[in-house]
Amino acid sequence: KKFLNWNNFNNLKINIFLSLINSILETISIATLPLLLGLLINTNLNLEKYIPFNSNILDKFYNLDNTDKILIAMIFIAIIFIIKICFTFLVIYRENKMTVDISLDISRNFFNHYINSSYLNISKKKVSEILRNIGTETGRIGNWFKNYFIVFRECLMIIFLSIMLLFVNYKI
């Protein structure tokens, strides 16, 4: 039988989409750190080539005192990291919930299979095999899905960080 029912398959698609957004947020949060470092080193940093904002906002930012520029940049980066962390918690929660749902569905399917089987078929199997199939094996399948989610999320991070590094200007 299939591991995923229709509800779990839809949740899988949603989790893939949320992991994609999470990787984008992670990349943006990492990309803000060199901007802060550049602002700390050179307070006359030209941000127009990094941030495509309205020039009125940048003009107001350039007219601020150096300590105010750094403070605003740090607050901006802290907000980005807080949003990213909250979103990451949401993604991990959904992934774990889906893993538990898949394990429960598979366990329920095994249980219903054994309940609806004839007595002769059940008597041929060992009790330990039945209990292992219902309990242990379903947990292993759930762990496989959990590890799949982790590897998928990390691969997305590598892809997005690689793309970000392709656009970085290495000239100092």
- Taking only the tens place, the pLDDT of each residue in 58-94 is 667 667 777 887 888 889 899 999 999 999 999 999 9
Structural contact between residues 149 and 14, judged by C-beta atoms closer than 8 angstroms: no
Q: Is the pLDDT of residue 17 over 90?
A: yes
Most confident region among 54-58, 73-77, 133-137 by mean pLDDT: 73-77
Give me the chain's average pLDDT, please. Answer: 82
Q: Is the pLDDT of residue 48 over 80?
A: no
* pLDDT at residue 23, rounded to an integer: 92
Indicate the pTM of the whole model. Answer: 0.74
- Taking only the tens place, the pLDDT of each residue in 102-130 is 888 888 888 888 888 888 877 888 888 87
* pLDDT at residue 4, rounded to an integer: 67
Cα–Cα dist 95/149, whole Å: 7
* pLDDT at residue 80, rounded to an integer: 92
Q: Which residue has the higher pLDDT, 98 or 120?
A: 98
Cα–Cα dist 114/118, whole Å: 8
Cα–Cα dist 113/162, whole Å: 47
Q: Write the CB contacts of 76 (distance below 8 Å, at least 6 apart in sequence).
A: 32
- Report, in angstroms and rounded to the nearest whole number, the Rg of the chain calculated over CA atoms: 25
* pLDDT at residue 124, rounded to an integer: 82
Query: What is the separation, in whole angstroms, between the first and last Cα of the chain?
Result: 58
